[in-house]
Amino acid sequence: MTQLFSGPGAAVISVFFALASCANSDASASDGAGSTSTDVTAVSASAAAAETAVVEQATSAVQQTRFSFSGEMTQGGWIRGVVPKGTVSASLGEETLQLAEDGSFFAAFDRDNAGSAKLTATLGDGKSVSETLTISSRQWNIERVNVARRKGGPSAAYMARRGPELDAIWDARQKKLPENGWQQDFIWPVKGRISGKFGSQRIYRGEPGSYHSGIDIAPGNGVPFVAPADGVVVLAVKNFSLEGNLLIIDHGMGLNSAFLHASKIAVSEGDRVRQGQYIGNIGSSGRATGPHLHWSLKWNNSRLDPLLFVGPM
């Protein structure tokens, strides 16, 4: 008999095929002695159903010994998946994964993560399961300018104000609440002209500046925007020096959205919001050259491309 499967479940399938073959042989002999063809059809249907059940069980057994995942395996991308059965802890590279009760997880790849990333699960018996992922590179919008990058850092007065702002943003992103928005298919918070793309960067006479950490959407001043997925508001503040009126929503599993430059914030810290819920209005508060919504996504310390969550408008 041809070996169709290997690994867990293979022996079960082989035994089943042997039994099914005997059953069909007996049915054929009986039919020659006077059984109706209906008896043979019933046996065949029963055998087919049992065969399907055994194959599905064997396939499930194989899958439970490995990672199962899907998503965007590229710079600024993400995956959702399930860890192998019996996993007590898991990681992507140096990042520890949060695991749901059913073993599902979310993980992502920074804008500069290229080449590969390694998923590792530690099982209850001390063994480990690992899988190396290939992370594709992307072509970013790079602008090379023949001017020197501005020298000198921010003033002491500016840093006296900026320091507490950065601390508040950091603290908000460390909360890691048990939310389930990360499981949803994200939607656009607002639709309009894309005025800035994730990952774009200027190079000043060979010296790189910081890259654009989100996507800018410019539908017009005052236009309302909504939550792209379920979550909890972990920061809602006014008049930050760079961000202006700033809103951060935790979607769970270390994934969060930040919305900058709003003219109005319609929710408060601690509020649970639902996908599609109105949360604010477009503006130009903070350091902005015109009214737009800057939407950025982070998973732990990795910056992600919102376009890979929602697709083209």
Please list the rounded mean pLDDT of every run of 10 residues in the chain (313 residues): 36 37 40 43 54 49 79 98 97 96 97 94 96 96 84 83 96 94 98 96 87 97 98 98 97 98 98 98 96 98 97 91
The SS3 of residue 9 is coil
pLDDT at 261: 98
Nearest CA among 237, 252, 260 for reference residue 168: 237
Phi, psi of 275 (to 5 degrees): -55, 130
Instruction: Give me 302's structure tokens.
Output: 């990795």
CA torsion angle for 240, 241, 246, 252 (degrees, to 10)? Answer: -90
**Cα separation, 60 vs 72, whole angstroms:** 24
pLDDT at 308: 98
**Cα separation, 196 vs 309, whole angstroms:** 16
Instruction: Give me 252's structure tokens.
Output: 């769970």
pLDDT at 46: 61
The SS3 of residue 118 is strand
pLDDT at 64: 81
Q: Where are the alpha helices (DSSP H) in the chain?
A: 10-32, 37-63, 156-173, 307-310
CA torsion angle for 234, 235, 236, 242 (degrees, to 10)? Answer: -150
For the chain, how many residues are written?
313
Within 13 Å of residue 82, how many CA atoms lie on the same side as its CB? 12
- Give the β-pairing of 302-304 and 224-226: unpaired
**Cα separation, 136 vs 109, whole angstroms:** 10
Whole-model pTM: value is 0.78
